[in-house]
Amino acid sequence: MSDIAALKQEKQQLIDKMLEMQKEFIEYEHNHGVTGKDYWASSEGLLVDYRQEYMDMANRVVDIAHEVVGSSRN
């Protein structure tokens, strides 16, 4: 597998995981409600590391996309 193919595969895996996280979040929100405090400062359950994990994956997806086409974020 080429480097580009491996990057594209990683990017797709991240996107799939992010979509699954979104589905879980929506289900959680519908069942429990989510306050701003829950979202920004939850200390237990689904939301503990949700924002950071999602943001890290989203940033990696952008980095991979740039790497694949040979551009940069800056």
Instruction: Please check whether residue 10 lies inside any domain of the structure.
Output: yes
What pLDDT shows up at residue 74? 73
What pLDDT shows up at residue 2? 80
pTM more than 0.95: no
Instruction: Please check whether residue 74 lies inside any domain of the structure.
Output: no
Count the domains in the chain: 1
What pLDDT shows up at residue 55? 97
What pLDDT shows up at residue 44? 87
State how far Cα 20 lies from the chain centre. 9
Query: Residue 22, exposed/middle/buried by CB under 10 A (0-12, 13-18, 19+)?
Result: exposed
Instruction: Please check whether residue 18 lies inside any domain of the structure.
Output: yes
Q: Which residue segment(s) compose the domain that 27 sits in?
A: 3-69
Going residue by residue through the chain, which has 74 residues, state the pLDDT in tens, using 9 for 90 and above.
Answer: 789 999 999 999 999 999 999 999 999 999 999 998 888 889 888 899 999 999 999 999 999 999 999 898 87
Instruction: Please check whether residue 54 lies inside any domain of the structure.
Output: yes
Q: Where are the beta strands (DSSP E) in 1-74?
A: none
41's CB contacts (< 8 A; 6+ apart) are none
